[in-house]
Structure 1
């Protein structure tokens, strides 16, 4: 199983750093990735640091470049996180540019989909993002997230919905991107209850938001993921 823990901008940064230090002393038996508000050096033995964002290839200001990530020993970044796309009005073409920049610079993308609730639109969204991208031999992580669940802080999806999304995305990838090495994770108010359900449905992992501000609160999720591993 994969666990991706993503802090947001309202979590105090000193608290995030304390979380990372405390987490470094815990037993972690699965692939764990943590995305602080701003990336710090990935120097921990039991988990890796990932970036919340990556810039487009052209010159810009105030965004994270591949060079910065390489300097910090970070090889993975969110691309087009849904909350960012909604709040900053980032369209699919911008997300495609970020994805192209990640692939060109050996940054593994965590590519978010789920902007629309209709499963057909989710597949079309993914198809638009992946079309004509140089994906062969490049490992990626696909992340489906229930945006409404994330924003409202409760699980609004059904097991049937999660199953339908899983099956349709797996079918699309098998038929249209058979050469791509990918993992598929799910988010949207995931916790120690949702993680085993996601695992049983065939997901490779879970995406977890910022409601766990210290390791003691995160412990039940950590225990559940260790057991699944």
Structure 2
């Protein structure tokens, strides 16, 4: 099982680094990826450091380039995280440009969808992002209930996240059978939601910044470890 833990800008960076240090001493059986707000060297043995963002190919200021990630040993990056897209008004065209840059530089994308909870619109959003992109290596698709993330509680039903799961699987099988991908679920995921996502058929979960210390995260980690054994 895959788990992606994504810190946000309001979490103190020293606290994030302490979390990583503590986690490096913990038992981690799940395929765990951690995205601090600023990339740090990917040198840990029991989890992978990933990036929260990747720039477009054109010259920009203040964004993270593939060469920065490569120098840190980072090979995975979020592309168009939903909260970035909403707060910074990033349209799908910009996200497509980020995806293109990732693919050209062997960066595995974590491609976020779910800006709108309507099933048809989720599939349409995914189709726009993948259209005409030459994808020959594995990718990660993250469906996130944006409202649940923003409100801090699960606002979706089991039927809803099952229907989303089935729709995305059907779309990928019909239109992109050649793409190897993992599908993960986000939106207030915890030790209760993770087994539900696993039972539905998601390959993993996306977890936000509710857990600032290993002690707080440990109950979730224990469940994730059990699901992965």
- Give the shorter-chain TM-score range: over 0.9
Taking the aligned partners of 2:72 and 2:90, their CA distance within structure 1 comes to 26
- Indicate yes or no: 2:69 matched with 1:89: no
Q: Which residue of 1 aligns with 2:187?
A: 188
Q: CA deviation at 1:94?
A: 0.2
Helix, strand or coil at the partner of 2:129? helix
Q: CA deviation at 1:8?
A: 0.2
- Indicate yes or no: 2:221 matched with 1:222: yes
Taking the aligned partners of 1:6 and 1:105, their CA distance within structure 2 comes to 22
- Indicate yes or no: 2:23 matched with 1:23: yes
RMSD: 0.4
Q: Which residue of 2 aligns with 1:8?
A: 8
- The TM-score, its normalising length taken from structure 2, stands at 0.99
Helix, strand or coil at the partner of 1:25? coil
Q: CA deviation at 1:138?
A: 1.2
Q: Which residue of 2 aligns with 1:63?
A: 63
Alignment of structure 1 residues 142-221 onto 2, 5 Å: 142-221=141-220
Taking the aligned partners of 1:64 and 1:155, their CA distance within structure 2 comes to 32
Alignment of structure 1 residues 31-42 onto 2, 5 Å: 31-42=31-42
Gaps of 5+ in 2: none
Helix, strand or coil at the partner of 1:93? helix
Q: CA deviation at 1:117?
A: 1.3
Taking the aligned partners of 2:38 and 2:178, their CA distance within structure 1 comes to 33
- The TM-score, its normalising length taken from structure 1, stands at 0.99
Taking the aligned partners of 2:122 and 2:110, their CA distance within structure 1 comes to 16
Question: Which 4+ residue blocks in structure 1 deviate beyond 6 angstroms?
Answer: none
Gaps of 5+ in 1: none
Aligned residue pairs: how many? 228
Q: CA deviation at 1:78?
A: 0.2
C-alpha distance after superposition, 1:53-81 (max 9, x if no partner): 00001100000000000000000000000
C-alpha distance after superposition, 1:63-111 (max 9, x if no partner): 0000000000000000000000000000000000000000000000000
